[in-house]
Amino acid sequence: MKRLDGKVALITGASRGIGRGIALCLAEEGADIVVNYRSHPDEAEQVAQAVQRLGHRALTCQADVSDRQAVSAMMATAVEHFGHVDVIVANAASQKHAPLIEAKWEDDRRTFDVTMFGVYHTCQAGAQQLVRQVTSGHPGGKIVIISSLHNEIPFATYAAYNMCKAAVNHLGRTLAAELIRYHINVNMINPGWIDTPGEREIFGDAIIDAGAARCPWGRMGRSEDIGKAVAYLASEDADYVTGATLLVDGGMKLASSVLSP
């Protein structure tokens, strides 16, 4: 018996990177998967095929999470296809970094629209669906927000992204308080520096390949590190955990203490 047998999980931004790792880890634990993507249909289909090879059902669903109507339609499609949704993972994000005095508004606005408002839309639509299910006799569900160490450390040149991540953590705590009476858990994960295609596009292979030397654990984080953490929070093992933030950063937050004399 796997921890997520019979569950359906919807993961935004699941075609690559952290989202892909989450989708595969949840499938390994027994879940059927809704693979949301915006602009990588081939990679989304590859994730769906990997889920199916693990013996579970998969549905690819294109939607830009910054679009409220698209998110609502995605949720309705998932429920129509599977009959219910049990786990909502708000993972999709967007970022461009520059000093605030040089930042382009169109870049920061896109960051806000996806990384903050996209999480809001996903969590609201997911919470509404989970509450409907609870009131009709279905067990409570789980919402997991993928935030960032940027919520805790104001990294320079990331003002918009830092702001978004701080906001979504507080959103998660608020939603957790509102959904307690339904026994719907809401928790956040703060990843550290994770080796993903997106990070390689931003920084280049040389910087990412050298990143392990800057990580106290001796290696970069991997998408499956976050996926395993989500699997825990999505399972009955975490039924008494809500409104919490799980730091999965290989000790990055502790780096100043580790390196001090």
pLDDT digits (tens, 9 = 90+) for 25-83: 999 999 999 999 999 999 999 999 999 999 999 999 999 999 999 999 999 999 999 99
Span 106-133, average pLDDT: 98
Span 188-207, average pLDDT: 87
pTM value is: 0.95
Contact predicate 26/146, CB 8 Å: no
Span 107-119, average pLDDT: 98
Domains and CATH numbers, the chain: 8-251 (3.40.50.720)
Contact predicate 17/198, CB 8 Å: yes
Between strands 185-191 and 245-248, the pairing is parallel
- Residue 243: Cβ within 10 Å count: 16
Q: Backbone phi, then psi, for 207, in 5-degree steps?
A: -70, -40
174: CB partners within 8 A, 6+ apart: none
Q: Residue 187 is inside which H or E element, if any?
A: strand 185-191
CA distances from 119 to 36, 95, 124, 128, 259 (A): 13, 14, 8, 14, 35
Q: Can you tell me whether residue 35 is helix, strand or coil? A: strand
DSSP secondary-structure letter at 137?
Answer: T
Q: What band does 260 get if pLDDT is binned at 50, 70 and 90?
A: very low
Beta bridge partners of 145: 90, 188
CA distances from 60 to 11, 12, 32, 172, 228 (A): 10, 10, 11, 26, 22
Span 120-131, average pLDDT: 98
Told to judge if 161 belongs to the known catalytic residues of this protein, a careful annotator would answer: yes
pLDDT of residue 119: 98
Among the listed residues 120, 161, 182, 240, the single catalytic one is 161
Cβ-count burial 144-166 (b if 16+ within 10 Å, e if not): bbbbbbbbbbeeeebbbbbbbbb
Rounded to whole angstroms, the Cα distance separating 61 from 258 reads: 43
pLDDT tens, residue by residue, 202-240: 778 888 888 778 888 989 999 999 999 999 999 999 999
Span 123-145, average pLDDT: 97
